[in-house]
Amino acid sequence: MSALLTGIGTRIAERWLQTVVLAGLLWIATLVIAVRLGHEHPFDVGRLSTWLDEIARDRVGRSASAVLLAVAAALLAAGAAGLAAGALGGAFQRLWGAAGAGPPLSWMVRWRLRVRRRRVERARRAIARAVAHRRRGGRLLLAYARHTARRRKPHEPERPTRIGDVFHGVAVRVHRRYALDLEPTWPRLWALLPETLRADVTAARQAYDAAARLAGWALLYLALAVLWWPGALAGAAVLATAVGRARDAASLLATLVETAVDLHLTDLAERLGVRGGEDVSAIELGRAVAHHLAGPEHPAAGR
């Protein structure tokens, strides 16, 4: 047991060092650059070199205790910045998965609907023009139709973000296919998944969490634009990277969750004592599982 706890503690320390301290030190270094250079000299490397030379010549810079205190302060500041980025990442996850029932999130849903409908209308007009000039635009029509088919979404936006639509789409498809709510079913199903599938789901969730944390770092870099305008460029680049990674991770996570339901719902029904068989359809099996989970003998029924 002591060896197990030691191993767990080592992995936690390594993860903390990689995801929090190192990223925090990079942000602290950028903060120092922002303070020293400012808006007037955003890329003057000579000012930084002169400042570092002054520290090296100073007696305080040669003091071992001063160096240790500076390193300790930098590590503490990096840890604090990492905690702030993690908290902002959690806020991003709540935003990405929000339902958008009220303003201002409902305004985002309406805006996404208008954007999509304008794109569909532009595609329709472009195809109509290509049809009208079939001799010159026959190849254009085919290419544009294929491009539109690849970009076409099966449903109109229903959530403020694309990531929210991905997660909502899984819940809708599972309910349509099995008449089953995913939220109360997933914890029971998770306990029955094989280790390989659980590892894949865990890895996808960790990638999604890491992308959200990166978005939190992006906001911290954007905040440096108050002192140093290139911080806005760095923050925008980090945010774009984080959103792209989050979309990829969310798509993979949603696919794995749906796969788990498709492959192991029968196993869950058997473990719950719900009757199944070859003559039972998927939607009947799902309704039986849902009825069992919501039954009077289940603790959730009294909530």
Q: Is the pTM of this model over 0.75?
A: yes
pLDDT at 283: 86
57-110 per-position pLDDT tens digit:
765 556 777 778 888 888 889 889 998 999 999 999 999 988 877 788 888 888
Does pLDDT of 10 surpass 50?
no
pLDDT at 1: 37
235-263 per-position pLDDT tens digit:
999 999 999 999 999 999 999 999 999 99
Does pLDDT of 222 surpass 90?
yes
The per-residue pLDDT of the chain, averaged, comes to 81
123-156 per-position pLDDT tens digit:
777 666 666 665 454 555 556 555 555 554 446 7
Tokens representing 285 are 């099996």
- What pLDDT band is residue 204 in, cutting at 50, 70 and 90? very high
